[in-house]
Amino acid sequence: MNNKAPTVNGRFTFSILEGQPKGTLVGCIHVSDPDGDDLIYSTNSTDFSVNSTTGELKSQTVFDFEKNNQYNILVEVTDKIHKANIMVTINVIDVNDHNPQFSQNEYKVNLTDFKNGATVTQVSANDDDPQDHIVYSLKGDSHFKIHPKGTIVLTRNLDWKTKEDSITLMATATDLKNSSTSVLVSLSLIKPLEFARSNFTTSISEAAPTGTIVFKGIVRTRMPLIWHHQNNKIPITVVVHDSDNKSNQTEEHITVEVIDVNDHVPEFSQKSYKFQIAENVAKTFNIQATDMDGGKNAHVTYSFFPSQPQVVKGSILLNATTGTLSISSLDREDKVEYTFDIMAKDGGNPPMNSTTKVTVEVLDVNDNAPVFTKAEYNANVNENSEPQKILTVHADDKDAGLNGLVFYKLQNKSVPFIINQITGDIWSMMVLDFEKNPMYKFQILATDQSSNPKTSSCSVTINVLDICDEVPQLTTVISLSKDKIVGTSVFSLKSSENGTNYNISAEHDIVDINKKTGNVFTSSKIPNTATNYHMTVTAWSQCHLPVLTEFEIKPEDPILKTDEKELKAELTENHCSNQSMFNLSGLPEFQGKDVSFNLRTFNEFFKIENGQIYCQVAVDREKYSQFELLIEVSYKYKPIAYTADETLKVVVTVSDVNDNQPQFQTPSLFYSIPSTAQFFYQVGKIKVIDKDDGENGASRFSLSKDDKDLFYINPSSDLHI
Q: Are 391 and 356 within one domain?
A: no
pLDDT-above-70 percentage for the chain = 81
Could you tell me if 623 and 543 lie in one domain?
A: no
Degrees, nearest 5: CA angle 435-440-445: 160
Q: How confident is the model at residue 639 (pLDDT cuts 50, 70, 90)?
A: very low
Contacts of 283 (CB under 8 A, 6+ apart): 277, 326, 327, 328
Residue 37's CB: how many other CB atoms inside 10 A?
Answer: 15
409 against 490, higher pLDDT: 409
Domain of 441, in residue numbers: 371-465
Is the model's pLDDT at 321 over the cut of 60? yes
- Half-sphere exposure at residue 60, Cβ-oriented, CA atoms within 13 angstroms: 13
Q: Are strands 455-465 and 376-382 parallel, antiparallel or unpaired?
A: parallel
Q: In this structure, which long-range contacts are made by residues 150-154, counting pairs with CB atoms below 8 Å and at least 24 apart in sequence?
A: 150/122, 150/123, 150/124, 150/125, 151/119, 151/121, 151/122, 152/119, 152/120, 152/121, 152/122, 152/123, 152/185, 153/117, 153/118, 153/119, 153/120, 154/113, 154/114, 154/115, 154/116, 154/117, 154/118, 154/120
How much is the pLDDT for 558?
A: 47
**Residue 373 in this model has a pLDDT that exceeds 90:** yes
CA–CA separation, 442 and 119 (whole Å) = 93
Cα–Cα distance measured from residue 272 to residue 193, given in angstroms and rounded to the nearest whole number: 57
- Contact between 38 and 79 (Cβ < 8 Å): yes
Q: How far apart are CA 362 and CA 330, in angstroms?
A: 7
From the list 11, 90, 10, the residue with the least C-alpha distance to 49 is 90
The Cα–Cα gap between 606 and 615 comes to: 4
Q: Which residues of 629-653 are buried (b: 16+ CB within 10 A; e: fewer)?
A: bbbbbeeeeeeeeeeebbbbebebe
Residue among 574, 556, 415 at smallest CA distance from 479:
556
Decide if pLDDT at 442 tops 60: yes
CA distance to 127, 150, 443, 445, per residue, from 408 (Å): 68, 75, 11, 6
Q: Give a yes or no: residue 345 inside a domain.
A: yes
If one compares 198 and 166, the residue with the highest pLDDT of the two is 166
| Separation between Cα atoms, residue 512 and residue 519, nearest integer Å | 8
Q: Looking at the structure, tell me whether residues 648 and 667 fall in a common domain.
A: no
Which range has highest mean pLDDT (29-33, 145-149, 659-663, 691-695)?
A: 145-149
Total number of domains constituting the chain? 8
SS3 for 59-76 is ECCCCCCCCCCEEEEEEE
Residue 16 has pLDDT above 80, yes or no: yes
Q: Which of 259, 275, 294 is the last residue of a domain?
A: 259
**Residue 211 maps to a domain:** yes
Query: What average pLDDT score do residues 84-98 get?
Result: 84
Does any domain span residue 195?
Answer: no
Residues 109 and 162 grouped into a single domain: yes
Are 317 and 275 in a shared domain? yes
The contacts of residue 162 (CB under 8 Å, 6+ apart) are none
pLDDT tens-digit series, residues 237-280: 777 665 555 555 667 788 888 888 888 999 999 999 999 999 99
Ranked by mean pLDDT, which of 38-52, 100-114, 219-233, 510-524 comes out on top? 38-52
Distance of alpha carbon 537 from alpha carbon 472, whole angstroms: 10
162, 189, 216: which is the final residue of a domain? 189
Does residue 720 or residue 226 have the better pLDDT?
Answer: 226
Question: For residue 145, what are the β-bridge partners?
Answer: 153
In a domain, 2, yes or no: no
Distance CA 386, CA 13 (A): 64
| Model pLDDT for residues 329-367, shown as the tens digit of each residue | 999 999 999 999 999 999 999 999 999 999 999 999 999
Give the pLDDT confidence score for residue 517 in this predicted structure. 72
**How far from chain centre, in Å, is Cα 125?**
56
Tens digit of each residue's pLDDT (9 = 90 or more) over 448-461:
999 999 999 999 99
99-108, 131-140, 633-642: range with highest mean pLDDT: 99-108
287 shares its domain with 251:
no
* C-beta separation of 417 from 388 below 8 A: no
* Whether residue 413 sits in one domain with residue 346: no
Distance CA 151, CA 154 (A): 10
Which class for 432: exposed (0-12), middle (13-18), buried (19 or more C-beta within 10 A)? buried
| 87 and 108 in a common domain | no
The answer to the question of residue 514 being in a domain is yes
Confidence of residue 22 (pLDDT cuts 50, 70, 90): very high
Burial of 519 (0-12, 13-18, 19+ CB in 10 A): middle
CA 247/CA 67 separation, integer angstroms: 60
At 720 the pLDDT is 39
Of 163-177, 211-225, 583-597, 707-721, minimum mean pLDDT range: 707-721
> How high is the pLDDT of residue 560?
38
Q: Would 297 be classed as within a structural domain?
A: yes
Nearest by Cα to 88 from 29, 16, 6: 29
- Residue 629 forms beta bridges with which residues? 650
- Distant-in-sequence, close-in-space partners of 674: CB < 8 Å, separation ≥ 6: 681
Taking every pair of Cα atoms in the chain, the longest distance, rounded to a whole number of angstroms, is 183
Domain boundary among 635, 655, 675: 655
> How much of the chain exceeds pLDDT 90, in percent?
32
Residues 271, 353 within the same domain: yes
Mean pLDDT of the chain: 82
Spatial contact of 103 and 124, defined as CB atoms under 8 Å apart: yes
User: Is the Cβ–Cβ distance between 397 and 406 less than 8 Å?
Assistant: yes
Confidence of residue 207 (pLDDT cuts 50, 70, 90): confident
What single-letter DSSP state applies at residue 260?
P
Residues 602, 504: Cα–Cα separation, whole Å: 27
Residues 238 and 281 in one domain: no
In a domain, 159, yes or no: yes
Q: Does 626 share its domain with 681? A: no
| From 123-127, 415-419, 533-537, the region with the lowest mean pLDDT | 533-537
Look at residue 217 in the predicted model and tell me its pLDDT: 63
Identity at 265, one-letter amino acid code: V
State which of 5-14, 480-489, 514-523, 558-567 shows the largest mean pLDDT. 5-14
Q: What's the CATH code of the domain at 16?
A: 2.60.40.60
**How far is the C-alpha of 84 from the C-alpha of 75, rounded, in Å?**
9
Contacts of range 485-491, beta carbons closer than 8 Å, 24 or more positions apart: 485/522, 485/525, 486/522, 486/523, 486/524, 486/525, 487/521, 487/522, 487/523, 488/521, 488/522, 489/519, 489/520, 489/521, 490/520, 490/521, 490/522, 490/553, 491/520
Whether the pLDDT of residue 557 is over 70: the answer is no
- Indicate left, alpha or beta for 86 from its phi (over 0: left) and psi (-120 to 50: alpha): beta
**CB neighbours (10 Å) of residue 30?**
11
| Bridge partners, residue 319, by sequence | none
Question: Which 3-state string (H, E, C) describes 618-658?
Answer: CCCCCCCCEEEEEEEEEECCCCCCCCCCEEEEEEEEEECCC
Shared domain check, 498 and 513: yes
170-192 average pLDDT score:
82
Helix (H) or strand (E) holding 196, with range, is: none
DSSP assignment letter at 707: G
As a whole number of angstroms, the distance between CA 462 and CA 378 comes to 6
DSSP per-residue string spanning 666-706: SS-------TT--TT-EEEE--EE--S-GGGG-------GG
Rg (CA), the chain: 54
298 three-state secondary structure: helix
Task: Please determine, for residue 478, whether its predicted confidence score (pLDDT) is greater than 80.
Answer: no
Task: Kindly report the three-state secondary structure assignment for every residue of 533-580.
Answer: EEEEEEEECCCCCEEEEEEEEEEECCCCCCCEEEEEEEEECCCCCCCC
Is residue 198 very low, low, confident or very high in pLDDT (cuts 50, 70, 90)?
low
275-301 tens-digit pLDDT: 999 999 999 999 999 998 888 999 999
Mean pLDDT of 54-74: 89
Higher pLDDT, 393 or 182: 393
Closest CA to 534 of 606, 603, 478, 596: 478
β-bridge partners, 90? 14, 71
In the 8-state DSSP scheme, what is residue 247? T
Per-residue model confidence as pLDDT tens digits over 665-680: 777 777 778 877 765 5
Do 272 and 285 form a contact (C-beta atoms < 8 A)? no
pTM of the complete model: 0.38
The pLDDT, as a whole number, for residue 721 is 37
Q: Does residue 487 carry a pLDDT above 70?
A: no
Q: Give the model's pLDDT for residue 65.
A: 83
Least confident range of 109-113, 156-160, 551-555: 551-555
pLDDT at 562: 37
Residue 485 pLDDT level (bands cut at 50, 70, 90): low
Confidence of residue 310 (pLDDT cuts 50, 70, 90): very high
Residue 196's pLDDT band (boundaries 50, 70, 90)? very low
